[in-house]
Structure 1
Amino acid sequence: MIIIFFFVGHWFLSLFFQTFFQHRYASHRMFTTSPFWERTFYLMAYVFQGSSFLSPRAYAIMHRAHHAYSDTEKDPHSPHFFTDVFQLMKATAITFREHLNRKQNPETSFAGYYPEWPLLDRIGSSILSRLLFGAMYTLFYFFFAPHWWLFLLLPIHFLMGPLHGAIVNWCGHKYGYQNYDNQDQSKNTTPFDILMLGELFQNNHHRHPNSANFGKRWFEVDPVYPVMKTMHWLRVIKLRKNY
């Protein structure tokens, strides 16, 4: 039971900071916050994403390109140009590393207005950091996993961030329904998006990219939005006026 709690906790905490910090803040600036809280969220993203920590700068550049060129040949991760999800993940990883290592200059409109902490980016993106987190996950399983088959969950821990991205990019542009004609293939994969914390309301998000609430119809529930509203009321963050 401990292993299940650990897995579920890692899944949702990693995903929360990916959608809240890298996506909604770094990529879209859906809210503002103080330098103290920005660094706090940055550090928490590193801790909870662990071995699959994603540089907010590289993430933001790629995501902005995805919106600008959604489901065209210039989209860095449209599922309609790959034979399977593994090819999509491979191509996404290559482009992400190019931005991470600054080997590819982003278009002017995609650069800037994202949080940067070069030291933490270097640490979090290093092989040593990823291996240390992987070793900690493995040791935790070694001490608490009662059955051998539970060790099959470890690869998910190791690649949590890329897996979340692959699920959203693949399913959110292939399966589901559309509320809006966005001139792309974005879909709302599910009407009640709990497992992906609202990220699979891709059709809604592409229509309203700066809206903090990804759910638009009465049955579409974005679990992260109430958390952001609470933070707004507590003055930890300040949501944009169109939230």
Structure 2
Amino acid sequence: MAVLIFFLAHWFLSLFCQTFFLHRYASHKMFTMSHFWERFFYGFTILLQGSSFLNPRAYAIMHRMHHAYSDTERDPHSPHFFKDVWQMTMRTKDIYLNYAKYKVEPEKPFQGNYPEWPLMDRISNMWSVRILFGIGYLLFYIFFATQWWMFLLLPIHFFMGPIHGAIVNWCGHKYGYSNYDNHDHSKNSLPLDFLLMGELFQNNHHKSPNSVNFAKKWFEFDPTYPIVLVLHKLRVIRLRRQ
């Protein structure tokens, strides 16, 4: 039971960091927050994504490119130009590392207005740090796993961030229904998107990329949106006017 609780906690907390901090804040600036809270959620994202931490600057640049070039050859991760999800993920990784390591300078429209913390980026990107996170996951399983098959979950812990991204990028542009004609292949994969905390409302999001609520129809629910409203009420963040 402890292992399953740990797995679910890691899945959803890591996913929350990705959709709340990396996507809705770093990429789109759907809300503002103080320097203190930005650093808090930056560190929180490092802690929760752990061995698979995604650099906010590189994430934001790639996501802005994705919106600008959605499902064209210049889209960094459209599933319609790859034979399978593995090939797409490997191509996405190469583009991500070019930006994360400053090997390539992004186009001007995609630059700036994203959180940066160079010291923590260097520390979190060290192989020794990523391996330590992995060892931590392994030790937890050694102490608390009660069945051999539970160890099969470990690779998901090791690559949690990229796995979330691969599911969203592949499924969100191949499977589901469309509320809007966005002149791309974006889909809403799940009307009640608890699995990816709203990230699979890709069709809705591409229609209104700056809307903090990814659900648009009465039967849709974005579970991250109520959390955002609570944080706004608590003055942790300030929502921008839509």
TM range (shorter): over 0.9
Could you tell me how far apart the structure 1 residues matched to 2:32 and 2:77 are? 28
Say yes or no: does 1:78 pair with 2:57: no
Amino acid at match of 1:133: F
Amino acid at match of 1:202: Q
Deviation at 1:149, TM superposition (A): 1.0
Say yes or no: does 1:153 pair with 2:158: no
Deviation at 1:123, TM superposition (A): 1.2
For the residue of structure 2 that corresponds to 1:174, the secondary structure is coil
Query: 1:198: which partner in 2?
Result: 198
Could you tell me how far apart the structure 2 residues matched to 1:204 and 1:127 are? 37
What percentage of residue pairs aligned between the two structures are identical? 65
User: Mind listing any 5+ residue stretches in structure 1 that lack a counterpart?
Assistant: none
Q: Deviations over 1:171-211 (max 9, x none)?
A: 00000000000000000001110010000000000000000
TM-score (norm 1): 0.99
Query: 2:217: which partner in 1?
Result: 217
Q: Deviations over 1:117-175 (max 9, x none)?
A: 00111111221111000000000000100111110000000000000000000000000
Query: 2:34: which partner in 1?
Result: 34
Deviation at 1:21, TM superposition (A): 0.2
Q: Deviations over 1:11-65 (max 9, x none)?
A: 0000000000000000000000000000000000000000000000000000000
Amino acid at match of 1:170: W
What does residue range 87-236 of structure 1 map to in structure 2 within 5 Å? 87-236=87-236
User: Mind listing any 5+ residue stretches in structure 2 that lack a counterpart?
Assistant: none
What does residue range 48-59 of structure 1 map to in structure 2 within 5 Å? 48-59=48-59
Deviation at 1:107, TM superposition (A): 0.4
Could you tell me how far apart the structure 2 residues matched to 1:128 and 1:96 are? 20
For the residue of structure 2 that corresponds to 1:238, the secondary structure is strand
Moved over 4 A (4+): none
For the residue of structure 2 that corresponds to 1:213, the secondary structure is coil
Could you tell me how far apart the structure 2 residues matched to 1:128 and 1:24 are? 30
Q: Deviations over 1:70-114 (max 9, x none)?
A: 000000000000000000110111110000001111000000000
Could you tell me how far apart the structure 2 residues matched to 1:194 and 1:39 are? 27
Could you tell me how far apart the structure 2 residues matched to 1:41 and 1:62 are? 20
Amino acid at match of 1:212: V
For the residue of structure 1 that corresponds to 2:129, the secondary structure is helix
